[in-house]
Amino acid sequence: MGNDITTSKDVALVEILDRVLDKGVVISGDIVISVAGVDLIYLGLQALLSSVETMERLRCSPIAGPMQEPT
């Protein structure tokens, strides 16, 4: 049997991109300028996750984070 879920915060870049790139108000592959009358440039990057090559090579340096072993 393996160990319990470890609680390190050396998170792969894919975990970050899964959050910061892919959500709701995006239009795939496009940049929307001036949404609702505001000069907002919002990026639609749904296509990106699957198009970035060799994602597994990319690792972020560890992020300072609070995870601890639960007691």
Partner 1 sequence: MTDLIYLYCITNRMPQPKWDGYGVYSINHQGLCAIVSKVPEDEFGEENLKKNLSNSEWLTNKACRHEKVIEEVMEDGCVVPFKLATLFKTEDSLRAMLKEHAEKIKENLEDLEEKEEWGIKIYCDMERFKKGFLKEDKEILRLDKEISLSALGRGKAFLLKKKRDQLLNDLIDKKINEAVQEFLSGLKQQSLRTRVNRLLPGDVTGRRDDMILNAAFLVEKDKWSAFIREINVLKRQYEGTGYIFGCTGPWPPYNFC
Cα–Cα distance for residue pair 38/40, rounded to 1 Å: 5
The CB-based long-range contact list for 63-67 (8 Å cut-off, 24+ gap) reads 63/9, 63/11, 64/9, 65/9, 66/9, 67/7, 67/8, 67/9
Interaction residues for partner 1, span 8-67 (CB under 8 A)? 9, 11, 13-23, 26, 31, 33, 36-43, 45, 48-58, 60-61, 63-67
Q: How far apart are CB 35 and partner 1 at their closest, in Å?
A: 9
> Which residues sit at the interface with partner 1, rule CB under 8 A?
1-2, 4-5, 7, 9, 11, 13-23, 26, 31, 33, 36-43, 45, 48-58, 60-61, 63-67, 70-71
